[in-house]
Homo-oligomer: A and B are copies of this chain.
């Protein structure tokens, strides 16, 4: 089934580079071979750089799974049944994280930000003073609203107000597109997935743990899952990074190779350059949607708008069931809404990875043109 004609611009999976595609199609290797150990070692070391980690006791985590496993990892390793966890919600994925935590009998309080906005630092500090929280979860960019939380400021507030509370960040739609200074900002666990800005096919749960998160996981006596147990995985990951064969469950050989290749590409391009280019592309694109087409963004102001995707309302009189198929016919695949309150009222465009960074591909321009032309065909004018 050929899909070369369609341009994939949803908020993940994203278009992968040619080098990553090639890395995906290597022949299988033994998971304990020197060849694969070197690849896995490279990927783990490169993750330290991506997360700007400055503490060698921080721990990168790569497990064969969907990004969703990161929620189970949080619930089953970093907190315990009966613990209080504060969930900051900026949309569907924040709420789903809360749901995952509740499965593990964690007491969850959800602090919901106004639609399209972030939680205020004051409201977070106020809530943290009410009871003892084992962890706070922050969805860095909620893919349902394209809102980006200021995790640096939130983490600082948590460390000041409730220093024992672990700072857990869902970075599924932020890692490799928004800046993250893991150690400096005092984060404890950032979880993400391979198929978003990291630019690898879906299939890897990727994470980064602080020294105190590692200690907590390793000292935990009662495990609540087998496959998601950090106590089982951490020694394996440490062995791989040290260049030694190790076995718990067979890693996804080709995906880890693709991850290593993609991280090499990301790091070679320079992180600061990448983040500022992503921000610029996002601002330009959003600016055109708002100013040239007169559309309204879900994110209520510039400084809460994510760089990796745009969530934008359909204009009055235009139905998504007309607009999205029309755009699709022009060869561009965008995503519908997923936030329960406004599910049918908006759509989403992903602009991560090569699609945002390589102007020569013309991806963002093509998406904009498809939106503009389709709107005009449906009789819309600003």
Contact = CB atoms under 8 A, between A and B. Distances in A.
Interface stretch (A25-33, A303-311, A361-369): A25-33
A68 B226 contact: yes
A202 interface: yes
Contacts of A4: 27
Interface string A51-78: 0000000000001111111011001100
A226 B28 contact: no
A63 B75 CA distance: 20
Contacts of A66: 63-65, 227, 249-252
Given A64-B66, A65-B69, A223-B103, A13 B31 contact: yes
A65 B227 contact: yes
Interface stretch (A14-22, A148-156, A178-186, A272-280): A14-22
A31 B33 CA distance: 32
Interface residues of A, number: 64
Interface in A161-205: 193, 195, 201-203
A100 interface: yes
A38 interface: yes
A4 B226 CA distance: 35
Given A15-B27, A103-B224, A227-B72, A201 B254 contact: yes
Contact of A202 (B22, B28, B333): B28
A201 B253 contact: yes
B31 A3 contact: no
B24 A24 contact: yes
Nearest to A42: B1
A316 interface: no
A195 B103 CA distance: 31
A91 to B, nearest CB: 14
Contacts of A228: 72, 225, 227
A361 to B, nearest CB: 12
A10 interface: yes
A250 B64 contact: no
Contacts of A248: 68
Contact of A15 (B28, B103, B249, B251): B28
List 3 tightest A-B contacts by C-beta distance, closest first.
A203-B252, A25-B25, A66-B249
28 contacts: A3-B35, A6-B33, A8-B30, A10-B30, A12-B250, A21-B27, A30-B333, A30-B335, A63-B66, A64-B65, A65-B66, A66-B227, A66-B250, A66-B252, A67-B249, A68-B249, A100-B226, A103-B225, A103-B226, A104-B226, A193-B250, A201-B252, A202-B250, A203-B252, A224-B224, A247-B338, A252-B252, A255-B255
